Amino acid sequence: MAQDERTLAQRLLAGDKRALARAITLVEDDRPEGWELVREIYPHTGRAAVVGFTGPPGVGKSTLLGALTRAERARGRTVGVLSIDPSSPFTQGALLGDRIRLTEHFLDAGVFIRSMANRGALGGLSEAALQGALLMDAAGRDVVFVETVGVGQAEVDVIDHADTVVLALMPGSGDSIQALKAGVMEIPDVIVVNKADHPLTDTMVREIRGVLSLGPQKGWRVPIVKTQAAFGIGIDELAEKLEEHRAYIQAEGTLLERRRRNLMNEVVAIATARMRRQLEASIRDDAGVQELLDEVCERRLDPASAATEILARNAGAVERQHDG
């Protein structure tokens, strides 16, 4: 490894914000030296409390995160905020959907904020984003908040990287009702009803309690916290519930179980993404594969049979490479 890369790792582990920013960029750009850096710093991870936030657009996740960051800093903790954005980079106004709520933290050495594109990842988190949270952990952040885009059946893999998952909802929103119906209620450890000055707040809380009552009643009981994040109302209670959940999973021994599951899922996800890229690259210029696709288009061959044939060809090519 080159000297400057070792220096970057050392600076990162010492908490240098510029080194952390550089490291995340290397991983986001899929640079080999970025992955080598992750390999080097990985033994120094696992200390941060990773809290995942998900919920429909417009519920005020950005405001919640800004208020929670303020609360954690008041307790003397360092914070990393990772926002997984669907398209816009940091500088084009997409940070957490509302960068105004976090501007007060930009110059705080104890806060590191990064917005990353999800690169079309169906689960709401990109391969690089998962590594971004690891890098924040290695840089000594006490708490890492990870915010995903939207919420839905395909956007629940925040659970594959967080110790505690927060579902943010708001009253009077059709999106929130859809979230209740979409099976998303199985995900959260804490539920927040933000903008709780809305007249339908209590109605929504009753609906949520009704859905939760249908699930298993053993173990951790999911709390519902009412907040008005724009005014800092309910934020201390939310921070306390996050602490209580972390203490609970540590006491029960489920923190290690959860992290083991999460890391196994992450390994499979990275392997799957890389295998797909390799497969796409290998078949792009393969005339035989193009013939197969033509047969599918002409209805002489079904898609599943074509896929089986492509996989068999690819496996054969890999074996020939190893034999060579």
Tens digit of each residue's pLDDT, the chain (324 residues)? 444 555 899 999 999 999 999 999 998 888 899 989 999 999 999 999 999 988 887 888 888 999 999 999 999 999 999 887 654 444 433 444 444 455 666 678 899 988 876 554 444 355 677 788 899 999 999 999 988 765 544 445 656 678 999 989 889 876 556 656 556 667 789 999 999 999 999 998 988 888 888 777 678 999 999 999 999 999 999 999 999 999 999 998 888 888 888 888 878 877 887 888 888 887 888 888 889 999 999 999 999 999 999 888 877 766 666 665
Are 30 and 57 in a shared domain? no
**In the chain, how many domains are there?**
3
Tell me if the pTM is above 0.95: no
Q: Which residue, 66, 56, 50, 71, is CA-closest to 237? A: 71
* CATH number, domain with residue 64: 3.40.50.300
Phi then psi for residue 105, to 5 deg, are: -100, -5
| 258 found inside a domain | no
How many CA atoms does the CB half-sphere of 90 hold within 13 Å? 15
Domain end residue (candidates: 192, 226, 252): 252
The amino acid occupying position 201 is T
Q: Which residue bears the tokens 């059946």?
A: 153
Q: How far apart are the first and last CA of the chain?
A: 28
The residue range of the domain holding 65 is: 45-252
Are 308 and 290 in a shared domain? yes
Distance CA 287, CA 41 (A): 43
| 92 found inside a domain | yes
Three-state DSSP state, 113: strand
How many CA atoms does the CB half-sphere of 102 hold within 13 Å? 28
Nearest 5°: CA angle at 160, between 89 and 163? 100
How distant is the alpha carbon of residue 22 from its chain centre? 20
